[in-house]
Structures are given as structure tokens and as C-alpha cells.
Amino acid sequence: MLLYSFPFWLIAPRGIYAACGIDRRHVVRSFNPHRNASSETTPLQVGNGNFAFGVDVTGLQTFSPFATMSTWGWHNFSLPTTSGQTSVDDFSGLDWWTHGRLVNYNQPNPAESDISNWLIQNPQRVNLATIGFSFAEDDVTEEKLEDKSQTLDLWTGQISSAFAYNGTPVEVETWADSSSDTIGIAIESELLSGGSLGVFFDFPLPTRNKFDAPFVGVFNATDQHITSLQAGENSATIRHDIDATSYHVTVSWEPSAKISGPLDGKHRYILKSSQGVNKIKLSVAFSPAPNTDAPPFAGIAAASTAWWESFWRSGAFIDLTGAKSPNAIELQRRTILSQYLTAVNSASSYPPQESGLVNNGWYGKFHLEMILWHLLHFARWNHFPLLRRSVPTMYSKYLDSSVDRANLQGYDGARWGKMTDPTGRSAPGEINSLLIWQQPHPLYFAEIEYRSFPSEATLKSWDDILTATADFMASYAFYNQSTGFYDLGPPMYPASENTNPNATINPAFELAYWRFGLDVAIKWKERQNTSVPEKWIEVRDNLAPLPIAEDAFAVYEGIPNMWENTTVQDHPAMSAVFGLLPPPSSGPPLNMTIVKNTADKIRDLWDLEDCWGWDFPMLAMNSLRLGDVDQAVTYLLHPLFEFDDAGYPVGGSRVPTPYFPGSSSFLLAMAMMAGGWDGEPGPHFPESWNVQVEGFVPGL
Ligand SMILES: *[C@@H]1O[C@H](CO)[C@@H](O)[C@H](O)[C@H]1NC(C)=O
Ligand SMILES: *[C@@H]1O[C@H](CO)[C@@H](O)[C@H](O)[C@H]1NC(C)=O
Ligand SMILES: *[C@@H]1O[C@H](CO)[C@@H](O)[C@H](O)[C@H]1NC(C)=O
Ligand SMILES: *[C@@H]1O[C@H](CO)[C@@H](O)[C@H](O)[C@H]1NC(C)=O
Ligand SMILES: *[C@@H]1O[C@H](CO)[C@@H](O)[C@H](O)[C@H]1NC(C)=O
Ligand SMILES: *[C@@H]1O[C@H](CO)[C@@H](O)[C@H](O)[C@H]1NC(C)=O
Ligand SMILES: *[C@@H]1O[C@H](CO)[C@@H](O)[C@H](O)[C@H]1NC(C)=O
Ligand SMILES: *[C@@H]1O[C@H](CO)[C@@H](O)[C@H](O)[C@H]1NC(C)=O
């Protein structure tokens, strides 16, 4: 492994960090990804949570146009021109019977399919640009390059790439600024001065593809968008207009170079250094506004080095490198790489999409039911500043529209949306409109934050959000006169998304989560010495009991053929009743025989081929709380739960790679192993492993 090969180290004096027992730098760098060819599915990335640049083996996007993506770059195609469907207000959704009344759901209406589809497909996240090496010859391919070698230094955020072309070496450094949408590139090669190597900038058009992977956008629809160049002595700005979306790419260079283009009908611009210059440094800034004041190359490298060092030095840490077991080393590898990748792709001012800033899934939108998996680990790993980039601000931004959503359906409080873009609009969909497990999430986030920051400021920052959340939850639960219980659904989809929504009532996980959420909401009011709405208590104390089939939790009450092979598919969310949630603090205690039976039956019967990334950590957490550490490790290293050479979570049969809920839920499970939970501080690793952990926030 290539470890110590970079010119840009700022080596901190060790004495400053004497408090650290673990040699974090050594552990982190032991897992630096190294490549000598591009991957077909994943880039190596530099980035900062809100912006990322994915590169192939050349250190740029030369042969594989991996994406340059942000949290602000979005595009709408033009609205349909079909009569009566030319405005978003022409969408009316569908009415479904809900406990004896018609309720409007945000679902595609076959009579308005054009506007329904438009609302699903728009906006899409934009791949801002492709930047690569331009060779004097046309037919250069990756195979024609020699001595390819590339390393991502996780400790500084630098990618170093080297290759040779026709025997002449090229060396490249790639960096991203820690606080702006800017990349820094340094290139050294004799090929530069002779004019046989330059750097191109190209601009794709977004597509209407639900999944745009591994690459985002198309380069051959050049007449449907516009670019223009304004070049100066040491910098140039390229403006890109795609319908109403426009943004600017400001390129600054030193020493001297010249940019020209566009090339014959394309959106391709080429930067070439001046005669005699064989070393060039670029700063490339992306912004919706013109005239970005971008940091120079040296500033970007310094900021990245400082940010990553402070990231790795702060928060929690696990050192499994003292264990002999290859399983321990693989868990360590996944841990380090997942930490890097979630900081690059998920620590955003909006929740991340499931493919982060690597490529587009679901048009680049994010799912509000997934954000607990995406973000909760930042709290457990004591990286609250990264969590706070989006939470609770995102909930505050979407509060009004979520109150409107609940209101339209005749409920109190705020009904949080599902597949969302930055404006907070939820895309139409049958499942989208009928899932409910995103509703209690704010209560979980708030509670975990309060335990670390038990202050009035914390109480205040969440209070409006929690009040509206609990009001909806209490008002959504339906009082069933014949049983005397409050029911959830129908119609609804449970987390497993594969049941008949009109028959789905009282799903196990959602019921347990409703109780947990209302318990937190009630405690929150008590902490503030304000009165607790009676409805919250009334609903909590009369929730329907958790459904049971064959002495184990069922997906929902009365589900046919529960433990037969046709049913045991998709997310085994019943394992989250005890895996994700603490034992209930109100109502009857969990029947531990049932909890144990549920874990056993899932282990023996569930169709894990049909599972998604986060199911494995969820099952591992359930095993941990049940005291079965070995089973937890088995789930975390399950052959169907894969991470590639650079740590990207493999999508599998159902979604493209990467599927980041796999990474973040993995880190959550590792936090549970290392940091434990209330009453069981841990760590909880196999006995023979020699493990050092520090800095974890215990779980609920
Ligand atoms: C390239 O990398 C692969 C995987 O790391 C390794 O097996 C192979 O030996 C490397 N090839 C060269 C020429 O370094
Ligand atoms: C896309 O259109 C919607 C609906 O008009 C609007 O709310 C949103 O701001 C637009 N987004 C972009 C990026 O143009
Ligand atoms: C559920 O019921 C509604 C009527 O309230 C009906 O329109 C819809 O097709 C049903 N859905 C399914 C999946 O059966
Ligand atoms: C662009 O290329 C794709 C696939 O290579 C092709 O399907 C599509 O028709 C092309 N579009 C245009 C406008 O040429
Ligand atoms: C009341 O609960 C029973 C048992 O779960 C169920 O069969 C029935 O449909 C519910 N009644 C209403 C009105 O939802
Ligand atoms: C609530 O009341 C308790 C006991 O009187 C007091 O200690 C606490 O500071 C009060 N909390 C708030 C937020 O007012
Ligand atoms: C727990 O569930 C088991 C299996 O269904 C049952 O035999 C036992 O009575 C239950 N315990 C309690 C306290 O309800
Ligand atoms: C379920 O098991 C039965 C009996 O073993 C088998 O005939 C059937 O094909 C299985 N179905 C599925 C979906 O695997």
C-alpha cells in the first residue's frame, strides 16, 4: 500500500493530541484506497458534504465522466403542454377511502399522467460539469496510459494520481475546499508545455432517468442547453444555462495558460498551459452566482488538510487493528471508509440522496423516511456539527408545507413528506403518500441531541417541530370503537412497502415507533414545564398492541401467511422494534420471548436476497441488544452486504451502487457495538478481539 507519498502534509505535533489514546492517523491511513485502473461503478471522491467531485484513475473525469454534484444544482424540464396539465396546480392526486371518509393523497392520477410524471421527474439534480485531460490525439483510452497509480489520502482529502502517456509521466493532485464548491487541481508533466496535454471542461444535459448511474446526464443533446465563455488573463468563467437553471464555473490558474472553446458545436472548452510551463495549478469554483471569489489552489489544499485532520481527530473512534481476526480488519476498513464517504456525501445542508453526490437515484431527490439511517450515526459518533447542517433546520423549512399537507387531509399537526427536493415538495407516489415511519424521526433526533445538550436552547430549537409532529401522530391514529384501541392505518404502507395498503393495519414497527415518539413528545413538554396535550397521552396509552403471528412479531395485524416464504421479504422492520428503539418507557413491557422468536425466525426464514443495505445493520443492532454479538458480526459481514475497494456500498439487485444508507446504518451499528446503549455501555465485540474505542455517545 502506498502510504507516504504526498508533498502536502501538515504534520501536527503529537503532543497537542496527547489525550488521544489511539493513533488515529495511523489507523485512518492504513485504509487509504489505492487504484491502478478506474472502477466501472464508483469514482474516488473529494468533497465536503454539500459538494463532491468524483474522479477516474487520472485524477479527473477523463475517461469515466463521474459526477460533480452539489446540494444547490437542480433543473426542471419544461412543464407539459397538455391541455389542463400545464401548471403544477393542475395536479389533483387521488382520493382514497380512509376510515369512512375520502382523503386526498399525493398520488399519480391516471387522468393527469403528464403533470403527475412531471412532478415525479422534476426537478433533477444536475451534474455540474465534467473536467478531464484532453490529449492531442483523439484515440487515447485509459488502456493506452501506462504506470497508472492512484491513492486517496483519507487523512487530508487529497487524491494523488500518476500515469504516463507515451512514456512521459503525468502527476495530478485533486482536492476539494472544505467550505465552498471549489476544487483544486495541480498537474505536473512535460506534456503540458509541449501542448500535447490540456484540461477540458464539458457540460452535460440532465435526463429524465429515475436512476442516472454510474454517470449523470448526456453530452450529445448539445442544442438543448447553452454555454458561454468569458476569459481573462488568469481566469475564466463559463456560464451554463439549461432552461431556467443557470450557474457559473470560474476557473483560475497559475502560471500562464489559455482557455478556448466551445469546440465545434459541443460544450467543450480546453485549457492549455503556455509554452514552457510544465506545472499548473487550477482552482475551479461552481456557483449559481457569477464572480465567485474562489480560494486559490494552495488555500484549497490547506483547508482540506485542516478540515479532514480535525474531522478524524474529533468525534468517536474505533481501533480494531489490534485484533488478529480478518473480520475485525474488514469491519475496521468499512468503518474508516464509511466515515469518509458519509462526510463527503451525506453531511449536507439538505438530507442526502441515497446515492449521495456520486450519481442520481430517484432523480437526485431525498427520502425523509431514510434520514434517520443517513444521519443518526453523526450523533452517536459525536459529530453533532455535521448532523446540525440539516437537522433540525430542514424540518423548520418544511414545517409550513407539512402542516398544509396534514390539513388538506383533515389531520392536525405536520405530516412530513417523502421523496423530496429542496423546496420541500414531495413527489407523487402511492407508496410515497402512504408511508408513515418518517413521522416520528424528529422525536428521535431531538431526544438524542437533548441527552448530549440538555439545555433550554435545545428544547426551544425543536419544540415547534416536535409539537406539530406529535399533533399529527395523535390525530392520525384512529380510535377503533370495537376494540377501544387507536389503530394505525389503513390505508398505509409499512416500512416494507410490499403489503396491500388497504389491508395494512397496526404494523409492528410503526406502532412501537408511535409509542416511542409520543413518549418523547410528552417528556419534552414536561421538561419545559408546559402542559402536555391530553390527546397525546390518550393515544399513547391506548395504542393497539403489537401484532403477533406464531409467537413472533408480524409485519401487521392479521397479515396472511406471515412466516411463509411469500411474506418474508423486503425490510424485516420488526427487528427495529428492539434494534433501533429502546424498550418502551410506557405501556406493557416487550415480551422478550416474542422479541427473541422474531430474531430467530428472521434469521432462519427471511429472504435476505430481497433486502436492502440498511436491513443488515438493523438486524445486527437487534442481535446486539439481544446479547448475540457473533450474530451481529455475521449480519454486518453478510455476503449480500458488500462494500467495494473504496468503501462504496454496493447497491445489489434493486438499486445501483452506491446505496449510502448501507454506510450510515453500518456506522450506527458500529456505534452500538462500540458505545453501547442505556444500561449496557459496552463495548460489545467478540471476546477475543483486542479493541480500543473512544468518544461515543451512548444509544437510547
Ligand atoms: C493493480 O491493482 C490490483 C488490485 O489492487 C492489483 O492486484 C494489481 O497487482 C495492480 N497492478 C499493478 C500493475 O500494479
Ligand atoms: C422547479 O419547478 C417547481 C414548480 O414550479 C419550483 O417550485 C422549483 O423551484 C423549480 N426548481 C428549479 C430548480 O427550477
Ligand atoms: C385502495 O382503495 C382505494 C379506494 O379507497 C382504491 O382506489 C385503490 O385502488 C385501492 N388500492 C389497492 C392497492 O387496492
Ligand atoms: C445520445 O446518445 C444516446 C446513447 O448513446 C442515444 O440513445 C440518444 O439517442 C442520443 N441523443 C441524441 C440527441 O443524439
Ligand atoms: C377495528 O379493529 C378491528 C380489529 O383490528 C378491525 O378488524 C376493524 O376493521 C377495525 N374497525 C375499524 C372501523 O377500522
Ligand atoms: C421546570 O421546573 C423545574 C422545577 O421547578 C425547574 O428546575 C426547571 O428549571 C424548569 N424548566 C424550565 C425549562 O423552565
Ligand atoms: C410472552 O409470549 C409467550 C409466547 O407467545 C407467551 O407464552 C407468554 O405468556 C408471554 N408472556 C407474557 C408476560 O405475556
Ligand atoms: C414457497 O415454498 C413452497 C413450498 O416449499 C414452494 O412451492 C414455493 O415455490 C415457494 N415460493 C417462493 C416464492 O419461494
Instruction: Compute, in angstroms, the gap from residue 511 CA to the centroid of ligand 7.
Output: 19
Residue 294 and residue 267 share a domain: yes
Residue 162 inside a domain? The answer is: yes
Q: Model confidence at 194, in pLDDT bands (50, 70, 90)?
A: confident
Name the β-bridge partners of 319. Answer: 692
Residue 532 inside a domain? The answer is: no
Residue 143 and residue 14 share a domain: no
Residue 495 inside a domain? The answer is: no
Residue 348 and residue 204 share a domain: no
pLDDT in tens, 517-535: 999 999 999 999 999 999 9
Instruction: Compute, in angstroms, the gap from residue 526 CA to the centroid of ligand 6.
Output: 9
* Ligand showing the shortest atom-to-Cα distance for residue 564: 8
**Which of the listed residues 269, 290, 313 is the one where a domain comes to its end?**
313
**Which of the listed residues 292, 313, 334 is the one where a domain comes to its end?**
313
Please indicate whether residue 234, judged by its CB atom, sits closer than 6 Å to ligand 8: no
CA distance 183 to 436: 40
Residue 658 has pLDDT above 80, yes or no: yes
pLDDT in tens, 537-582: 999 999 999 999 999 999 999 999 999 988 999 999 999 999 999 9
Q: Which helix (H) or strand (E) holds 547?
A: none
Please indicate whether residue 530, judged by its CB atom, sits closer than 6 Å to ligand 6: no
pLDDT in tens, 609-657: 888 899 999 999 999 999 999 999 999 999 999 999 999 999 987 899 9
Q: Which domain holds residue 172?
A: 33-75+123-313
Q: Could you tell me if 440 and 540 are in contact, meaning their C-beta atoms sit under 8 angstroms apart?
A: no
Strands 269-273 and 197-202: antiparallel
Q: Model confidence at 1, in pLDDT bands (50, 70, 90)?
A: very low
CA distance 663 to 67: 20
The predicted structure's pLDDT at residue 20? 52
Instruction: Compute, in angstroms, the gap from residue 543 CA to the centroid of ligand 5.
Output: 13
Residue 539 inside a domain? The answer is: no
Q: Look at the block and give the residue holding cell 501542448.
A: 195
Instruction: Compute, in angstroms, the gap from residue 567 CA to the centroid of ligand 8.
Output: 11
Residue 348 and residue 276 share a domain: no
The predicted structure's pLDDT at residue 652? 80
Pick the atom of ligand 5 nearest to 490's CA. 14
* Ligand showing the shortest atom-to-Cα distance for residue 489: 5
The predicted structure's pLDDT at residue 6? 36
Residues with CB under 6 A from ligand 5: 480, 482-483, 487, 505, 557
Q: How would you class 289 by CB atoms within 10 Å of its CB: exposed for 0-12, middle for 13-18, buried for 19 or more?
A: exposed
The predicted structure's pLDDT at residue 293? 82
206: cell is: 440532465
User: How many CB atoms neighbour CB 36 within 10 A?
Assistant: 11
pLDDT in tens, 346-375: 999 999 999 999 999 999 999 999 999 999
Pick the atom of ligand 3 nearest to 97's CA. 5
The predicted structure's pLDDT at residue 2? 36
* Ligand showing the shortest atom-to-Cα distance for residue 2: 1
User: How many CB atoms neighbour CB 168 within 10 A?
Assistant: 15
Instruction: Compute, in angstroms, the gap from residue 480 CA to the centroid of ligand 5.
Output: 6
- What is the mean pLDDT of the segment spanning 377-394? 98
Residue 9 has pLDDT above 80, yes or no: no
Amino acid identity of residue 493, one-letter, is: Y
Mean pLDDT rounded to a whole number for the chain? 95
Name the β-bridge partners of 237. Answer: 230, 250
**Higher-confidence residue: 426 or 11?**
426
Q: Could you tell me if 470 and 517 are in contact, meaning their C-beta atoms sit under 8 angstroms apart?
A: yes
Please indicate whether residue 179, judged by its CB atom, sits closer than 6 Å to ligand 6: no
- What is the mean pLDDT of the segment spanning 240-247? 98
Instruction: Compute, in angstroms, the gap from residue 565 CA to the centroid of ligand 8.
Output: 6
Q: Look at the block and give the residue holding cell 417528556.
A: 523
What residues contact 348, with CB distance under 8 A and at least 6 apart? 49, 50, 71, 389, 390
- Helix locations, 77-208, DSSP H: 113-121, 190-193
The predicted structure's pLDDT at residue 290? 87
What residues contact 152, with CB distance under 8 A and at least 6 apart? 32, 33, 44, 158, 159, 340, 646
Residue 161 and residue 302 share a domain: yes
The predicted structure's pLDDT at residue 4? 37
Please indicate whether residue 209, judged by its CB atom, sits closer than 6 Å to ligand 4: no
692: left (phi over 0), alpha (psi -120 to 50) or beta: beta
User: How many CB atoms neighbour CB 241 within 10 A?
Assistant: 13
Q: Model confidence at 477, in pLDDT bands (50, 70, 90)?
A: very high
The predicted structure's pLDDT at residue 573? 98
Residue 210 and residue 294 share a domain: yes
Instruction: Compute, in angstroms, the gap from residue 569 CA to the centroid of ligand 3.
Output: 22
Instruction: Please report how many Cα atoms fall inside a 13 Å half-sphere around the Cα of residue 657, on the Cβ side.
Output: 17
Q: Could you tell me if 202 and 130 are in contact, meaning their C-beta atoms sit under 8 angstroms apart?
A: yes
Candidates 438, 180, 142, 132; CA nearest to 285 is 180
Here the CATH number for the domain that contains residue 271 is 2.70.98.50
CA distance 249 to 270: 14
Pick the atom of ligand 8 nearest to 564's CA. 1
SS3 assignment, position 163 = strand
Residue 266 and residue 131 share a domain: yes
Residue 214 and residue 142 share a domain: yes
Q: Give the pTM.
A: 0.95
Q: Is the dihedral of CA 307, 308, 309, 315 positive or negative?
A: positive
What are the phi and psi torsion angles at 282 (to 5°)? -120, 145
Residue 278 inside a domain? The answer is: yes
410: left (phi over 0), alpha (psi -120 to 50) or beta: left
CA distance 331 to 325: 10
The predicted structure's pLDDT at residue 265? 82
CA distance 280 to 255: 6
Q: How would you class 446 by CB atoms within 10 Å of its CB: exposed for 0-12, middle for 13-18, buried for 19 or more?
A: buried
Residue 682 and residue 619 share a domain: yes
Long-range contacts of 161-169 (CB under 8 A, 24+ apart): 161/55, 161/57, 161/58, 161/59, 163/57, 163/58, 165/135, 165/140, 165/191, 165/197
* Residue 511, CA distances (Å) to 122, 507, 533, 548 in order: 33, 6, 20, 12
The predicted structure's pLDDT at residue 12? 35
Percent of the chain with pLDDT over 90: 94
Residue 152 and residue 49 share a domain: yes
Helices 441-452 and 371-380 meet at what angle, rounded to 10?
10
SS3 assignment, position 589 = coil
CA distance 637 to 685: 14
**Which of the listed residues 290, 313, 336 is the one where a domain comes to its end?**
313
Residue 291 has pLDDT above 80, yes or no: no
- According to DSSP, residue 79 is labeled P
Residue 583 inside a domain? The answer is: no
Percent of the chain with pLDDT over 70: 97
Please indicate whether residue 457, judged by its CB atom, sits closer than 6 Å to ligand 6: no
CA distance 278 to 301: 20
Name the β-bridge partners of 249. Answer: 238, 286
Residue 360 inside a domain? The answer is: yes
Residue 681 and residue 633 share a domain: yes
* Ligand showing the shortest atom-to-Cα distance for residue 597: 7
Residue 57 and residue 12 share a domain: no
Residue 276 inside a domain? The answer is: yes
Residue 444 has pLDDT above 90, yes or no: yes
- What is the mean pLDDT of the segment spanning 218-228? 96
Count of the separate structural domains present in the chain: 2
